[in-house]
Amino acid sequence: MDIFGVIEKWNLDRPNLDFNRFSRKAAGQMADDIQNCYLKALPPSVGRFNQSLFTATEIVEGRKRTEELALPLLFSKQVMLPDPLYSLLAPRASALWKRLPESGNKSYSKTPQIISSWKNYWSTDVSERFAFLNSTLPPLVAQLLKLRPMTDAGHIVLQPWEVAVEPEVELLRKSVVDLLKKPDVIKEITQRFEQAKYSAGVRLGPIGLQVAEDSPSQGLLKGDPMWFGDKAEILVIGFIHSIVASRYSSSLFDTLPGDRLVYDYVRTGGILKPKTDQIVSSVKVPNLSEALWDDIIAIKNDSELLSQLKDAIAEVAYCNDDDQKVLIKEEITSIASKLKAETALKKYARFSVSDFGVGLISGTVSNAMTGSTTAIAATAAAVSAGMSFGYKLVSEYFGAENKSLRRRRDVIVRINHKL
């Protein structure tokens, strides 16, 4: 049973849903049903992308319009989104949340962290839980039902990030503590951009800091950029993005350059400025973030050229040598030129243009599970099954003695998006 089966079983989509009619036992059984939707591992997939978790969570929780998914849906084989009902009701999700600094956990740093006010069912006072569900669950169900046509078609897959992170959370914490002992490295990857370009957590997201008033004694002027003194939360979200990409065979489609920077550092095994090989610098398509959801679905299903583009971008993840890279570059460039005359897209010319580039980064850790075929992806998944993805393990597992376990070329597909 998937999450939509749970919605139907418990009639969570009915008008005037009232949890005061439920018993606590029934609510617990419903939470178990939601948790049990994700007992099986997600099958490997070539060309799967996951958005930055802050953006993806905003979308599935209804704080951003689903139309924000237009661009990643148009150029990816599949977009992965978190399940908001799992975050809200699964006991294991609640237990993991309590072990992250965003919830107030103090084991990552001695410095006080910024804490999110977000709550789930299990962290709410018992006497208030049904009222909490009455106010929070219906809009989440409505948003999921809006996404359902894309999930039924396989263009979107719902998968909780918590399931991937839970077995890694202690090693994640230790890895962050270890990295915090390298101040020069941490400064380089967490202060290259302004603070507002980094997420502080799944629900905290980006937080901008500036000097409020001139401070001549400190050499500071009003408006000068400032950064968090403690970097633990920024590193945690970078590791979480990395774990999700590794476990779910996906590439990160980032919305913040700082998030991408931390992610690239972890995924390349500690390279501060990894070299990006540009496959194609510019592919222009209408920016459909202002389009109607039905229009996006229609274009996704009907545009043959966009289908070819998705296949070509997926190929980038497993090109083995420079000759293959040249051929893929030529193919994407050819498709990009034809897209300008694509009939299915012409009527959307009234929207602004989205411009994105496709590149790749060679690294010691990559989207190994997005291999060239499902068989290769499954093999890579089997090799990595049970392997922890902490910072130390990156160098240990992918060291010279384990080269035989790696594919000939490990890459991270990078989409550079600019409006």
The full set of domain ranges for the chain reads 3-268, 291-382, 386-418
Predicted TM-score (pTM) of the model is 0.83
- pLDDT over threshold 90, residue 159: yes
Query: Distance between CA 284 and CA 17 in Å, rounded?
Result: 44
109 or 126, higher pLDDT: 126
Integer angstrom CA distances of residue 207 from 233, 261, 407: 12, 17, 38
What local confidence, expressed as pLDDT, does residue 115 receive?
87
State which of 10-24, 41-55, 284-298 shows the largest mean pLDDT. 10-24
What local confidence, expressed as pLDDT, does residue 280 receive?
77
- pLDDT over threshold 90, residue 6: yes
Q: Choose the weakest-confidence range: 93-102, 123-132, 211-220, 361-370.
A: 361-370
- Rounded (10°) angle between helices 169-179 and 232-247: 130
pLDDT averaged over the chain? 79
Query: pLDDT category, 388, cuts 50, 70, 90?
Result: very low
The predicted model gives 242-256 an average pLDDT of: 83
Query: pLDDT category, 320, cuts 50, 70, 90?
Result: low
What local confidence, expressed as pLDDT, does residue 11 receive?
94
If you compute the radius of gyration of the chain from its CA atoms, what whole number of angstroms results?
Answer: 22
Integer angstrom CA distances of residue 175 from 119, 269, 360: 26, 12, 26
For the stretch 346-377, pLDDT in tens is: 666 666 677 777 777 765 544 333 333 333 33
Q: Which two tokens stand for residue 345?
A: 């897209």
Q: Sheet harboring 276-286: ordered strands across?
A: 276-286, 353-362, 411-418
The label of the residue with tokens 């599970």 reads 369
